[in-house]
Structure 1
Amino acid sequence: MSGDAAVIVGVDGSGPATEAVRWAAREAARRAAPLRLVGVLDWAAFRPLARLADLEHRDRERLHEHVSGFVTADADEARAVAPDVPVSQVVRSGSVREVLLAEAETAQLLVVGSRGHGGFSGLLAGSTSRAICALSPCPVVVVRGEGEHDGPVVAAFDGSPPARAALAFAAAAAASRDATLHVVRAWTHDTAEAWIMDMVPWDQVEAEVDAELQAAVQPWRARYPELRIETELVHAHPIPALVRAARGARLLVTGSRGRGAIAGLLLGSVSQSVLHDAECPVAIVTARGERAPA
């Protein structure tokens, strides 16, 4: 997807946010898309705790100038990273969640840093992250670390429709980066009752899971004939399998919901494990954002 729809990046003056701006600028260049930097002036986050009344007009102006200053600085950084990308900026008032979700309505991608200041500080630790991951109308990328690795693009696959959308996103992302696409299918029967486990022909089950995986990647082999696609079937819980696969990766891509052990991946404790432990940017193809591959 490219054209008029912008790559949106949340900016708050922190180091991780600036790294997210750099990543977003490079991604916008790959997509031939404009880049839009969004600063959020959340009065509740900035207001001193001892002062319950609204900020004075003078204080609001001062805070607006402060936010505008670091947004402008990051806009200059984006232009240095990707000189040919059109860059715009805006400062909006409201909660981080509401502002970013509103901006995402017309975006092709929403990018945020892994940590931040003000209202961004809890982005990956609570209801804000869950709401953005669950409700964003476009894919969300959480940028972790500094710079970009030179490894593969890793896609988490479990056979569900969101995972298939994530696979489409990952295939396009890998092709645009001239990178290998590494598709991980992690499965386990550890939660089954012992007497049930003794009745199941597990070799046959594994063969069927692998066949589903191969069938899922086949359309992307045909669409991108020069793209190297690797598949990995792992008999393990998905979280450690994905974190391990993401080491040295350029991007880890997953759907917002799935099946079995991966079903709650981006709506609870499992999601926090991936976002906190993965050593590369994490792309979340949300339920509403399935339409928009990279």
Structure 2
Amino acid sequence: MSGVVTVGVDGSAQSLDAVAHAAREAGYRHAALRVVHALAGPTYVEALVWERSEDLLRDEAYQLVDEAVARARSVAPDVDVSGHVLTGEPLAVLEAQSRSSELVVVGSKGRSRFEDLLLGSNAAGLAAHGRCPVLVVREQGDPSGPILLGVDGSPAGAAAIRFALDEAAVQGARVVALHAWTTWNAPVPPPGDPGEPYSSRPGMLAAAEHRLLAEALAGTSDRWPDVKVEHRTVREPTRSALIEASACARLTVVGSRGRGGFTGLLLGSVSQAVLHHAHGPVAVVRG
């Protein structure tokens, strides 16, 4: 057994979908599955109005964990599954669990009075702060589709490439490595001949972006010889390109943030957009 996959549960339908996904991931990886529920204790209003004592909440927590464990075992009967009720706020508990996990899986949103939110605060926070790759289950992807990998050529994106290729190897999937560019996010060429009306000759910018993708994926065929990787370069905004392509993918993989932008941010605008709008599960990999 190579490691541990952790899944966060809160009793919502989406968290049970995340459990099923996590169980399959653990099976692919020959890893144990750790089902975790964070028990923060009753709020003042819950204790006063609904008489929801801490003992009652704890009993409910163990019940929902038992349900989640049963779901996981039904999906992956050969996986070693354990259930845990841990005290603390969900984000803090899951961030701590990510330190000893090779993957953490959560639903895109859990039990909340804000039902129209596309992404819950715990999923967004964990994607930004998790110490291992975080897989957010929005909806089921196309099980026969490829793994979609967003490539931007940044050093941080190398971790996402490794994750996507490892994932493809254990799932027997192919990879579509997508690099999207526009004249706004392409590197600015050095000053040329003052007499030239354009900074780049026609076609030069596109050729440079094709080369960037090829260089980012250099050596992958040697390390993952059985994984078929399609190189796809498109001239359009990165966010819309990835979201559109995710409709045909079983999983979308992005780095936490890429080249450009504000270096102090833990989660870039592209990864945030994909987390909110992708058509299937999304894995965010920190560099």
Using the size of structure 1 for normalisation, the TM-score is 0.84
1:124 equivalenced with 2:150 (yes/no): no
Instruction: Say which structure is richer in helix.
Output: 1
Q: Is the 8 A contact 2:69 2:83 kept in 1?
A: yes
Distance across 1 between alignment mates of 2:34 and 2:142: 21
Q: Which amino acid aligns with 2:27?
A: A
After superposition, where does 1:217-228 map in structure 2 within 5 Å? 217-228=217-228
Q: Is the 8 A contact 1:30 1:176 kept in 2?
A: yes
Distance across 2 between alignment mates of 1:203 and 1:62: 67
Distance change (3 Å), C-alpha of 1:166 and 1:228: same
Instruction: Give the aligned partner of residue 60 of structure 1.
Output: 54
SS of the residue aligned with 1:90? strand
Q: Is the 8 A contact 1:243 1:277 kept in 2?
A: yes
Q: Which amino acid aligns with 1:27?
A: E
Distance change (3 Å), C-alpha of 1:101 and 1:120: farther
Distance across 1 between alignment mates of 2:260 and 2:48: 46
Q: Pairwise CA RMSD of aligned residues?
A: 3.0
Deviation, 1:23, is 0.5
Q: Which amino acid aligns with 1:212?
A: L
After superposition, where does 1:63-142 map in structure 2 within 5 Å? 63-117=57-111, 124-126=119-121, 128-142=122-136
Distance across 1 between alignment mates of 2:217 and 2:184: 27
Distance change (3 Å), C-alpha of 1:68 and 1:202: farther
Using the size of structure 2 for normalisation, the TM-score is 0.86
Deviation, 1:9, is 0.1
Instruction: Give the aligned partner of residue 7 of structure 2.
Output: 9
Q: Which amino acid aligns with 1:42?
A: A
Alignment equivalent of 1:177, drawn from 142, 147, 171: 171
Unaligned residue ranges in structure 1 (runs of 5+): 288-294
Q: Which amino acid aligns with 1:39?
A: H
Instruction: Give the aligned partner of residue 25 of structure 1.
Output: 23
How many residues were matched structurally? 278
Instruction: Give the aligned partner of residue 254 of structure 2.
Output: 254
Q: Is the 8 A contact 2:141 2:280 kept in 1?
A: no
Distance change (3 Å), C-alpha of 1:191 and 1:251: closer
Deviations 1:75-111 (A, max 9, x none): 0110111111000111111111100001111001000
Distance change (3 Å), C-alpha of 1:26 and 1:119: farther
Instruction: Give the aligned partner of residue 39 of structure 1.
Output: 37
Distance change (3 Å), C-alpha of 1:283 and 1:59: same
Deviation, 1:270, is 4.4
Distance change (3 Å), C-alpha of 1:147 and 1:256: closer
Seq. identity, %? 40
Q: Is the 8 A contact 2:255 2:286 kept in 1?
A: yes
Q: Is the 8 A contact 1:7 1:107 kept in 2?
A: yes
Q: Is the 8 A contact 2:271 2:284 kept in 1?
A: no
Q: Which amino acid aligns with 1:49?
A: V
Distance change (3 Å), C-alpha of 1:261 and 1:233: farther
Distance change (3 Å), C-alpha of 1:264 and 1:202: farther
Q: Is the 8 A contact 1:37 1:71 kept in 2?
A: yes
Instruction: Pick which of 86-95 and 145-154 moved more.
Output: 145-154
Q: Which amino acid aligns with 1:214?
A: A
